[in-house]
Structure 1
């Protein structure tokens, strides 16, 4: 009788642990979804674009692309990115294909003047952490 009881208690303990793991995964997923919704609201509101910058008839995808590129450069101020890397990141994250990087960069620089062209095809974010 005690052997069956210990087996049942172990199964119950495993179920409780499994339930806890599933609840943690659900909570992480919920937090990720809430963060993405908050980012989308921020993008749609164009709060990251200064008022003096004019962006005519801009689609939601394009605004997302500007936001993603700005965040990529801001979050890695010590790194120098090639135009290809920025283009690939933006396309992967948003699905927006940058046709003319020069125009895209010009708008990025208007949005955030700390985004600079270091040399031909290389871009970075100017800050205290910058090593270039």
Structure 2
């Protein structure tokens, strides 16, 4: 017969010792795997008398639910701890703008035009800008 209290205590001790996902997986395999302790108890169910099957099966299934729930909780806690550790170790702030890398150079014609403008401005001339092409109205009719 299965002693559920001692089984739970042994399981919880092993579960507390599991500090990584790999160790947690080993605990899961030990208790819930094909050759696990709970699976072996469920296989023993077929050799029991009919009167004991119902109560024993109920106890084993409740124990299995407890084990699955505790393993899921531990897995969530380990994944949260792993995420927090990863986030604290990463020092990159993704909200900051990236490094500016200038692309290309100023066109030689634009560079010469700017230099010529600077020369004329230094001599006292002003730079006036207007449309490159006048409309027909302004050239012939006005």
Q: Common fold, TM-score beyond 0.5?
A: no
| TM norm structure 2 | 0.31
Structure with bigger strand share is 1
Structure with bigger helix share is 2
